[in-house]
Amino acid sequence: MRFGVNTWVWTSPLTTDELKTLAPKVKGMGFDWIELPVEGLNDFDYVEAGKIVKDNGLGVSMCAAMGPDRDLIHEDAAIRENGAAYIRHCLQAIQTVGGTNLVGPIYSAVGRVWQQSADDRARDLDTLVAQLSALARFAGDHGAVMCIEPLNRFETSFINLASQAIEVVDRVDHASCKIMLDTFHMNVEEKSLGAAIRQTGKRMAHLHACENDRGAPGSGNVTWNEVAAAVRDIGYDGPVVIESFTNKVKSIARAAAIWRPFEESQDALAQNGVNFLKRLLA
């Protein structure tokens, strides 16, 4: 099992120079994994990022940022294609950096919520499965894996539950299309975090270990012992990554509703979190 942190804890958007500073800091805190968000297409140099990550002995994943013009099920075909082109870009980028997993809500724009009839949902699911099937083949050709993330009801109305992600991934039925679960979102939506993890089983290729308020894992009310037991039951041995955000970056603060600091510092959030997760899971 590898313990990681998303650079959104400190900054947005990530730049090459910031990664040069953050990678050794992350390593020094006891992490052995780092997660790099891809917001703009030219925010940081992927070749250089790969060298920085490797030089610091870190594993790496990338996180997709699905905005209004990056939506795989939008009624506008141009927006759907732009979303698919963005995911292809990210899949090539993760190969360049030297990682495998591209994680996130790889289906619709974060923040887009809408009412659906059963027929509407069936149509959108068909559209998504077709999109992800093509993207999974592309991912496989680039040694990458897409990890589809359910979000809470305030950030999407489409995939909120592990069971809904399972339906999509099972229909795609490709080794490069898996699931990421995030305890922050699960804490809102799932009846039982443990049951959701067990139901997902071997489909889970990535885990975001996040507290209910986005503070340091172990400082809130997520049922961590239940999570740990379920992770062990399914034999999960993949990345466990802390994802949080800083209120100092106004654009990401508004998007993620981060209005206040959760710990005495962002460094404390990361350090306290990894210390807790290692005691819980290592």
DSSP 153: T
Looking only at the bridges linking them, the beta strands covering 145-148 and 204-208 are unpaired
Average pLDDT over residues 224-243: 98
> At 63, which helix (H) or strand (E)?
strand 59-64
Q: Which two tokens stand for residue 139?
A: 């991912």
Total Cβ atoms within 10 A of residue 279 = 11
Domain residue limits at 92: 2-281
Q: If we measure between CA atoms, which residue out of 154, 153, 182, 158 comes closest to residue 168?
A: 158
What does the radius of gyration of the chain's CA atoms come to, in whole angstroms? 17
For 158-184, the pLDDT digits (tens) are 999 999 999 999 999 999 999 999 999
Non-local CB neighbours of 231 within 8 Å, separated by 6+ positions: 197, 207, 281
**What's the whole-model pTM score?**
0.96
Task: Quickly state the pLDDT bin for 248 (edges 50, 70, 90).
Answer: confident
Average pLDDT over residues 117-128: 97
In the predicted model, is pLDDT for residue 225 greater than 70?
Answer: yes
**From 149, 155, 190, 211, active-site residue:** 149
Which residue in the block uniquely carries the two structure tokens 């049922």?
Answer: 223
**What mean pLDDT is reported for the chain?**
96
Measure the CA–CA gap between 192 and 149, rounded to whole angstroms: 17
Task: Quickly state the pLDDT bin for 42 (edges 50, 70, 90).
Answer: very high
For 130-158, the pLDDT digits (tens) are 999 999 999 999 999 999 999 999 999 99
CATH of the domain at 215: 3.20.20.150
| Torsion-angle region of 21 (φ positive above 0: left; ψ -120 to 50: alpha; else: beta) | alpha
Residues 58 and 31: beta-carbon distance below 8 Å: yes
Q: How many domains does the chain have?
A: 1
The verdict on whether 243 is a catalytic residue reads yes
Average pLDDT over residues 106-134: 96
The verdict on whether 149 is a catalytic residue reads yes
Measure the CA–CA gap between 266 and 121, rounded to whole angstroms: 39
Residues 232 and 206: beta-carbon distance below 8 Å: no
Q: If we measure between CA atoms, which residue out of 63, 67, 2 comes closest to residue 36?
A: 63
**From 35, 190, 243, 263, active-site residue:** 243
Strand partners, 241: 4, 208
Per the model's pLDDT, the better-predicted residue between 258 and 269 turns out to be 269
